[in-house]
Amino acid sequence: MSNDSSNPAKAPHPPAATPVAPVYTKAAWGPAAAIIGTALAMLGAYAMASILAYLLPTALHWSHARAEDWFNSVAGQFVFVVLAESVIVAIVLWFLHSRKASIRAVGFHRRIAPKDVLYVAVTFGAYFIAVALATSLFKVLFHIDLDAKQELGFDTVISNGDKILTFMSLVIIPPLVEEFLFRGFLFTGLRTKLPFLGATVLTSLLFASLHLAEGSGGVLWVAGIDTFILSLFLCYLREKTGNLWAGILLHGLKNGVAFLYLYVFVAR
């Protein structure tokens, strides 16, 4: 009698190799918790702004005019940015601690590597081309105003000290915190259940929606389009590198170009 196990045609096939899951699939939170946590972090930042605007002048016995002057100053806006972004970081860290997770889970599990810089160099030009094409297309198809001015604050930048505080507020702090929150905490949670495209689009829509109200004349479509496309590239970098550093560098470079144009070259 022949032995079936010795027949290659009848031998059982070994199980297919399971692909290695990206690091974010091991996160201790899912899409619902990611969305709720992100919303709480943003609401916490806005609450801090309201508290600061109301309590600080009262505690210091400032008049309304003096308080308004301080909030419109570079120093006042810098303090606001630091406090608001600190609240976001604190809420996310609290959430991670409650799930017994560390910042490694959101994409800080290694140092900056040469490949991060290489990815940024490649995607930086592609991002600007994509924004130019998208804005031109939206103008033609929807006839919306894409020339409205974005309100970034920091309208009284004069001294070198003002420029340093403005640089910190626009180029250093937001890329770190926003990548930590959106491409780190939010995208990671979404990616545990959703495919890359779904997690990327949802993250980018939420990220862009926060920038639509940055104009003085209503909805600022150009900021929404810009930040949506930027987020697509940032999510790609998060997925490709498994880390946040490439996204932070790209985000900071983009904001740095805007800073140089608005506060250095134009000022001269």
Per-residue pLDDT of 213-257, as tens digits, reads 655 556 678 888 999 999 999 999 999 998 999 999 999 999 999
Tokens 């996160």 -> residue: 27
Angle between helices 114-142 and 221-241 (to 10 degrees): 150
Distances from the Cα of 261 to the Cα of 61, 186, 257, angstroms: 38, 31, 6
Which residues have C-beta within 8 Å of that of residue 80, sequence separation ≥ 6?
49, 52, 71
DSSP state of 244: S
Per-residue pLDDT of 150-179, as tens digits, reads 667 788 888 899 999 999 999 999 999 999
Q: Give the tokens for residue 64.
A: 């309304």
Q: Which helix (H) or strand (E) holds 256?
A: helix 245-259
What global pTM score does this model have? 0.86
* Cβ–Cβ < 8 Å for 6, 64: no
Per-residue pLDDT of 23-72, as tens digits, reads 666 788 999 999 999 999 999 888 887 787 778 778 888 888 888 888 88
* Cβ–Cβ < 8 Å for 195, 268: no
Residue 61 has a pLDDT of: 84
Angle at the Cα of 188 (from 101 to 84), degrees rounded to 5?
75
DSSP state of 28: S
